[in-house]
Amino acid sequence: MAAAATLSSNASLVKYENPVLLARTTDKKSTRARVKSDKLSASLTQSLNATIAAGGPPIPTPPRTMKLPPVEQKREKETEDILNSILPPREFSESGQLWVQQVSSTPATRVDVVKLQEQLDQKLQQRQARETGICPVRRELYSQCFDELIRQITLECAERGLLLLRVRDEIRMTIAAYQTLYESSVAFGMRKALQAEQGKADMELKIVDLQKEKKELEATVASLKAKCDDIERREAERRQVDERKHAEEMQFLKRTNQQLKTQLESILAPAKK
């Protein structure tokens, strides 16, 4: 039992009572006998109620010496019920035996708080929790530490503990919402990455086709440019030939005109005399 208590208490920062043996998992006969006894007591209760309803003998009244439980005991019971509702008892099996362990109802002192802080730092170091970023280990340990603080405060003031329970549930709900949003964003990013990978092959084929078309167009441009240069060269040569012919004709016509002018002057000169 001591070994089970040590093993169970070291697994969490929340302070628990010593585990209590609930039942043996292999002992089925005792369970059946207990069920039969419960049924028998239930049948006796029903028969007693029927007798009272039929007008049977009255039930003897309790003696006047009995006292009601004190208010402090009732208050402690209510606090324990609230504490068990906030932090339910946990069950675990070991060596074929079922153990149950409830949260400790011992009020905490300043030494306990300092010890809790030291245990938190020690577990963060032992489990190598990351100081920044998303770390499930750090989140788990701080959640256990917060539960332990709720336990300590609930023992002092149950209403304050219930309010802290609402704060804890709201924090967990907010973290769950952020986690869902993070997972959906990661899934969206993965889908976009897969779509990009699928479209990458098509884009590569399109790039190859465009590069091939570019080379063909460049070859066509080079061919047309060569043709244009050839045409310009032929036109320049033809223009030079035409200009040369035109210059020769002009010289010929000038010489012819000069000869005719000379002949005309020679013909007209004797006639004037």
Helix, strand, coil % in the chain, rounded to nearest 5: 75, 5, 20
Report the amino acid identity of residue 242. Answer: D
What pLDDT digit, counting tens, does each position of 74-109 carry? 667 777 788 888 888 888 887 888 888 888 888 888
103: number of Cβ within 10 Å? 23
pLDDT of residue 82: 83
Condensed to tens digits (0 to 9), the pLDDT of residues 194-252 reads 888 888 888 888 999 999 999 999 999 999 999 999 999 999 999 999 999 999 999 99
The pLDDT assigned to 45 comes to 55
175-190 confidence digits (pLDDT tens): 999 989 999 999 999 9
Residue 61: DSSP 8-state: P
Average pLDDT, the chain: 79
Confidence of residue 13 (pLDDT cuts 50, 70, 90): confident
User: Is residue 101 within 8 Å of 19, Cβ to Cβ?
Assistant: yes
Distance CA(189)–CA(175), nearest Å, equals 21
- Tell me what pLDDT residue 3 has: 42
Q: For the residues 142-166, what does the mean pLDDT come to?
A: 89
Instruction: Say which range, 66-70, 217-221, 255-259, has the weakest mean pLDDT.
Output: 66-70
Q: Where are the alpha helices (DSSP H) in 127-157?
A: 136-156
